[in-house]
Copies of this chain bind each other. A is one copy, B any other.
């Protein structure tokens, strides 16, 4: 998973871009980068770590220019990225800066096409073939002095040739003016929005919270199967190039996006509240009972409040989370591993002893942490431990940009539907495990989402070879 921001203004953008980028730091902590365009040059600083590490304060004044892009990158399983693989990327001819969030599934095919045209891909990052495909299409039309039509042709070539999910921002000169371009794959799987900033500028971003930080105003989503062109002091130009049925990612709503972000279907925390309320209703219908609703940190507190209200029983903070993560010097024995977990998440005895507790979490992927958490609280003498999850069971890997393990590692995969709960109760050592029903989920969400992780219905076809290549990389 990744995140981006793009800004075009009439004053230097780097300080504001940096603030906006920090608002979406949760989308990636592995690498960060910031690039700007000052009419003569393309400036770029990128590196490993959090934004504050990758983009040192002394570098900000060197990032001159009134248009630019920032990016944060999530650690993807199995990859061995170096600083050169961080986004954004740039080309000298024509001068383009570009970053994206998503996952390209046909990288080898793109590289072969580019190689035939004389373009050499340098990095391991799938943003670079997107950029080169875009730049190559522009150059084919003319070497310099690009117009809106050139951009349309270049975006169309990307939509036609690049497979997978991608939400993209680019900065280049169009009609002789610094221009911010945003576009998404034809289904709009990954999020992206844009809005006005105080003073007549425009910000595009993976999430609307970046706009909030700058005191901006949300205007719309980045077009799927089309593009928006943004320039300081001008109204947005939106061009449609063949949109398909929108299929935004369900996992952004459940877990990934910040609760204060606005997606296509409204504020995220409101969706989560409603999902949790729906879960409470389904849970009640099962005839289960509990004394206390306890959220599993770090993000389930509001959902626990919603369930508690719906169920009419209290909610309490049963775990104290250590604000300081940091790596730990771990001895490879059972006692130390348990201590390391307790260091992250200390359960309070009084909240569990002699109680029937209902643990609430947003989703379960591998299940290994949940298993260890239940083991920890079992020692404190609870009467019953119930587990409720405000999303359906994850049974299929994501190929569109959410970092997930291979199918074999998904704890809920490979079970017959009617045997699933029994298997998980044994594994987690709980009295019950309740997932939100798929119908319940669809009832609550007004948008038609990509829910391939729950259903296996992949919006964009992924060939067996592509799937094998992606899974092999994740196992590495």
Contacts and interface: CB of A to CB of B under 8 A. Distances in A.
Nearest to A266: B350
A213 B346 contact: yes
Number of copies: 4
Contact of A92 (B18, B120, B215): B120
Interface in A303-327: 305, 309, 314-317, 320, 322-324, 326-327
CB-based closest 7 A-B pairs:
A118-B144, A52-B326, A95-B120, A25-B324, A260-B320, A118-B143, A93-B119
A326 B93 contact: no
Contacts of A324: 22, 25-26, 29, 50-51
A282 interface: no
Interface string A114-146: 011111111000000000100110010011110
Contacts of A436: none
Interface in A372-419: none
Interface in A8-51: 15-16, 18-19, 22-23, 25-26, 29, 40-44, 50-51
A322 B117 contact: no
Interface string A63-95: 000000000000000000010000000111111
Given A23-B343, A348-B260, A350-B267, A327 B57 contact: yes
A314 B314 CA distance: 12
Nearest to A136: B93
17 contacts: A25-B326, A41-B122, A91-B93, A92-B120, A93-B119, A93-B136, A95-B118, A95-B119, A115-B144, A117-B144, A215-B338, A215-B342, A258-B320, A258-B346, A267-B348, A269-B320, A302-B317
Contacts of A246: none
Given A51-B324, A215-B335, 14 more contacts: A16-B336, A25-B324, A44-B122, A50-B324, A52-B327, A91-B93, A93-B117, A93-B132, A95-B118, A95-B120, A118-B144, A258-B346, A259-B348, A269-B317
Contacts of A90: 122
Given A51-B326, A120-B95, A132-B92, A213 B343 contact: yes
A165 interface: no
